[in-house]
Chain A
Amino acid sequence: MSRHVPVPTDLSEPFWDAARRGGLVVPYCPSCDLRFFVPEPACPGCMAPGWHYAPSAGRGTVYSVTVVHRAPGPGFDTPFALAVIDLDDGGTLLSHVDAGDPDAVDIGMRVRVDFRPLTDEITLPCFVPER
């Protein structure tokens, strides 16, 4: 069995399209100059409609990490490092950091995005150590 596969919505479709083509994009609100995640019906900073996706360089820092030994369902190779990544250019994402040894992933670690295909439709923006 495989893990739950995201079903893109009107809000998220551009995110998954970009990931499939090897690009990371995050919602950007020009009204208040805010990058945010997850995509919302309106900007969580100023409630303005009309935000758009903007490209991210895909580099960031681990804000927090947990090494998951018991996965919530099938399709995961345990243990894995589940992490919160603060992107340098704005926005905070949940992802995996693949550093070989999950216990080697520390808070403050510098990481860069690394795309991993899950299905034909969905490619996951995972992260790896920057160097």
Chain B
Amino acid sequence: MNGRQPVVVGVHATEQALTLPDRDAMDLALEAVRGAIADAGLTPADVDGAQVDWPGPGGVPGEGSSWARMLGRDLRWTSDSMLDNAGSRGLLKAAAAISAGYADTVVVGGCKLVSRGAGPVGAGVPLEFADVWGSYVVAQFALVAARHMHEYGTTSRQLAEVAATIRNNGSTNPEAMMYGRGPYTADDVLASRMVATPFHLLDCCIVGEGGAALVVTTAERARDLPHPAVAVLGGGMEYHQAAYANPALYREVGQLGRDASARAYAMAGVGPHDVDVFSLYDPNSFEIIRQLEALGLCGEGEGGPLAASGAIAVGGKHPVNPDGGCLSYAWNGTQQMTLKVVEAVRQLRGTAVHQVEGAELAVVGNAGSGAQHYEMSLLGRAR
């Protein structure tokens, strides 16, 4: 392995809960950063790049260079934008910086204390042609799901099987917000109240608060660190248009992620069927069905039967979200994307709560807005 090969060496997830009334955003961000650095076996001064949300108090909210004072050293790399500080996108940008030599060790992450309730989709920014129609996150994804069901005969029961499978992973994960709730059957999902057709309440993800971070460095630096290094073997991103300004149309974004994942597989010289575990965005049950197709595990329109076949269970052919995902483990704003990386890293270290036996290759798929953007990374145990 190339000495500058980017590898993940540290991860940390804070507690995740519906609300964390005793925590503030700075406290959570500090815990996430300190935790990931400690997990890596490093000290703050070893980190020369920070892609971390700066919540304040003090400084300009969002200004990444504020982390220099916290880390106790001048930084060589930073980022000011929320999505650049989370998940696959944050990881790929850190990896690119490390490969290029702009920095050696980068911490990526942050936290969210989100206000509860559905609310307009623009997260406080009015969307002129969406808000007035009562369009919001669940409804925008529903418009994509409804068209897939119309074109391919995908059923509500297939969606419910996805929700039940992933929720049951969370039911038995002590870190999950919904730990101890369930188990659920597809019938339970179908019996829960309708939110926006075809999505029942249990088809939709939870909303909560929490933080997460990860530390990326070079394979060379990772040699004497405590945990097995997890290599960033490939990745790709796709952006169709701005979030929620227009509704996502299945004909335009139904296969979003296909190009990103094809690029990632090609970089690593692998195919989708070589992947042992998938850590995928699950704002609702359907989005998993769509990604099974876009990630190349089956043809377009075949995701419903594949998902309902048992393939996505921890012991199945294509395990998805063994931690319980956003449906049951946690959704905390943009940092849910980082939690997807945390789970993939734990799976590849062999330390996950619901361990996929012998996992050597993992996909992290982040997305949003219907989905109108997709950020995918391919991680593997460094040898």
- Interface set of A (CB-CB < 8 Å, partner B): 3-9, 12, 37-38, 63-73, 76, 79-80, 82-84, 92-96, 103, 107-108, 118, 122, 124
**Interface presence of B194 (CB below 8 A):** yes
* B228-261 interface code vs A (CB 8 A; 1 in, 0 out): 0000000000000000011101110000000000
Known: A38-B245, A63-B249, A107-B150. A82 touches B135 (CB 8 A): yes
A67 touches B118 (CB 8 A): no
Majority secondary structure, A binding face: loop
Known: A4-B126, A69-B193, A72-B120. A64 touches B146 (CB 8 A): yes
**Interface presence of B26 (CB below 8 A):** no
A65 touches B143 (CB 8 A): yes
- What are 27 sample pairs from A and B whose C-beta atoms fall under 8 A apart? A4-B120, A4-B131, A4-B132, A6-B126, A7-B126, A38-B128, A38-B245, A63-B249, A64-B146, A64-B147, A64-B247, A65-B146, A66-B143, A67-B196, A68-B134, A68-B139, A68-B196, A69-B194, A72-B131, A76-B134, A80-B134, A82-B134, A82-B139, A93-B129, A94-B130, A94-B135, A94-B246
The answer for the CA separation of A93 and B131 in the assembled complex, in Å, is 13
Chain B residues with Cβ under 8 A from A80's Cβ? 134
How many residues in B have their beta carbons less than 8 Å from beta carbons of A?
Answer: 34
**Interface presence of B195 (CB below 8 A):** yes
**Interface presence of B197 (CB below 8 A):** yes
Give me 11 other A-B pairs in contact (C-beta within 8 A), A68-B134, A68-B196 excluded. Answer: A3-B132, A37-B246, A63-B249, A64-B147, A67-B196, A68-B139, A72-B119, A72-B136, A82-B139, A92-B249, A107-B150
Q: B253-277: which residues lie under 8 A (CB-CB) from chain A?
A: none
Known: A3-B132, A4-B120, A38-B129. A66 touches B139 (CB 8 A): yes
Q: B113-162: which residues lie under 8 A (CB-CB) from chain A?
A: 118-121, 126, 128-136, 138-139, 142-144, 146-147, 150
- Interface set of B (CB-CB < 8 Å, partner A): 118-121, 126, 128-136, 138-139, 142-144, 146-147, 150, 193-198, 245-247, 249-251
B249 touches A73 (CB 8 A): no
The answer for the CA separation of A118 and B134 in the assembled complex, in Å, is 13
Chain A residues with Cβ under 8 A from B139's Cβ? 66, 68, 72, 82
Chain A residues with Cβ under 8 A from B134's Cβ? 3, 68, 71-73, 76, 80, 82
Chain B residues with Cβ under 8 A from A64's Cβ? 143-144, 146-147, 150, 247, 249-250
A95 touches B197 (CB 8 A): no
B249 touches A124 (CB 8 A): no
The answer for the CA separation of A3 and B133 in the assembled complex, in Å, is 9
A84 touches B247 (CB 8 A): yes
The answer for the CA separation of A92 and B135 in the assembled complex, in Å, is 15
Chain B residues with Cβ under 8 A from A38's Cβ? 128-129, 245-246
Chain A residues with Cβ under 8 A from B142's Cβ? 66
> A84: which of B119, B121, B136, B143 is its contact (CB, 8 Å)?
B143
Chain A residues with Cβ under 8 A from B251's Cβ? 63
The answer for the CA separation of A83 and B139 in the assembled complex, in Å, is 10
A69 touches B195 (CB 8 A): yes
The answer for the CA separation of A60 and B283 in the assembled complex, in Å, is 30
The answer for the CA separation of A63 and B134 in the assembled complex, in Å, is 18
- Most chain A C-beta atoms within 10 Å of own C-beta, residue among B128, B129, B247, B250: B128
